[in-house]
Amino acid sequence: MPSSTRGEPSALSLRGVVKSYGSIRAVDGLDLEVPSGIVLGLLGPNGAGKSTTMRMLTAQSRADGGEITILGHSVPRESKRARALMGVVPQHDNLDEELTAAENLQVFAHLYRVPRAEREAAVERALRIAHLEDRRHTRADKLSGGMRRRLLIARGLVHRPRLVLLDEPTVGLDPQVRQELWGLVSSLRDEGVTVLMSTHYIEEAERLSDEVALMAKGKVVTRGAPADLIARYAGKTVEEFRAGTDGHEAMERRAEAAGLPTRRTGAELAVMRAEEISEELRGELGRGEVRASNLEDVFVTLTGERVE
């Protein structure tokens, strides 16, 4: 895998990283390289190792083995230097409830050593990015859930980081607020900021990511541009069939004998690359419901797991 798609050194590199909790290996020989200036989505179900990976990148947890390098700095040995160059948006809200939106940003501008003469401008920029200018004097505990999440993102950007880590940035938010935050992530890409975003939302990964790394059982299963992964593993369309009198097994055998991957969902059998179903096979399978392929089809095809 190339170290950069844009001729620059990688912003982030993990090689052979391992992390165990007792007998459970949460991260199992993880190799992941994030080129500068892209949005990379880390997609997988709960328990895939995404949050554990984020904790190791921020030195909240120490890897048992392997190498981690962030913006040229080895972690955890040089984690303070790395942390000064990156912004972190945690999954869980940890805003200071007693402070206003502006005061939360001012505290972090100080912690990240933004020069005193530049702090006011840095706070104003962060408020503008988060569309919270008119809420600058509102205490955090009076902000809506969507506003709080935008403030968390703005807080991680107040020092103009070169790399931003977003751990499940829209978890628990309603669709409208999620769309607003997607706009923020897109604006980061436009500014050339590198973003590593963990998520279990299929649409989020597809819409925001230049590349997606599908993760399961502590490893990256496959990686690539969303459209390329879908085309490679699932084709243009998926056709879903109810089980016939002879059950799923016979239908699966017929489809797979024709070289078409399948997946089961409850009482339905989904056949990938449905546009390639021949007339002969059509006569054996009958007609099902056709829909566009997506990343979840890819993930289930490769791992047998659902992203949820």
Are 38 and 194 spatial neighbours (Cβ–Cβ below 8 Å)? Answer: yes
Are 239 and 271 spatial neighbours (Cβ–Cβ below 8 Å)? Answer: yes
User: Angle at CA 208, nearest 5°, toward 36 and 38?
Assistant: 5
Are 141 and 134 spatial neighbours (Cβ–Cβ below 8 Å)? Answer: no
The predicted model scores a pTM of 0.86
Classified as helix, coil or strand, 240 is strand
pLDDT in tens, 213-233: 999 999 999 999 999 999 999
CATH 3.30.70, applies to 235-292? yes
CATH 3.40.50.300-classified regions of the chain? 12-99+156-230
Q: What is the mean pLDDT of residues 116-144?
A: 94
68 beta partners = 14, 75
237-242 and 86-89 as β-strands: parallel, antiparallel, unpaired?
Answer: unpaired
pLDDT in tens, 59-78: 899 999 999 999 999 999 99
CATH of 12-99+156-230, one of 3.40.50.1370, 3.40.50.300, 3.50.50.60, 1.10.10.10: 3.40.50.300
CATH 3.30.70-classified regions of the chain? 235-292
- The rounded distance, in Å, linking the Cα atoms of 111 and 187 is 24
| Residues in contact with 73: Cβ distance below 8 Å, sequence separation at least 6, in sequence order | 79, 81, 82, 85
Give 228-234's long-range contacts (Cβ < 8 A, gap of 24+): 229/295, 229/298, 230/293, 230/294, 230/295, 230/297, 230/298, 232/298, 233/261, 233/272, 233/297, 233/298, 233/301, 233/302, 234/261, 234/272, 234/273, 234/293, 234/294, 234/297, 234/298, 234/301
- Which pLDDT value is given to residue 5? 43
pLDDT in tens, 229-263: 999 999 999 999 886 555 678 888 889 899 999 88
Q: How far apart are the first and last CA of the chain?
A: 28
Backbone angles phi, psi at 11, to 5 degrees: -75, -30
Q: Which of 3-17, 165-179, 200-214 has the highest mean pLDDT?
A: 200-214
Backbone angles phi, psi at 26, to 5 degrees: -75, -35
Q: What is the mean pLDDT of residues 179-201?
A: 87
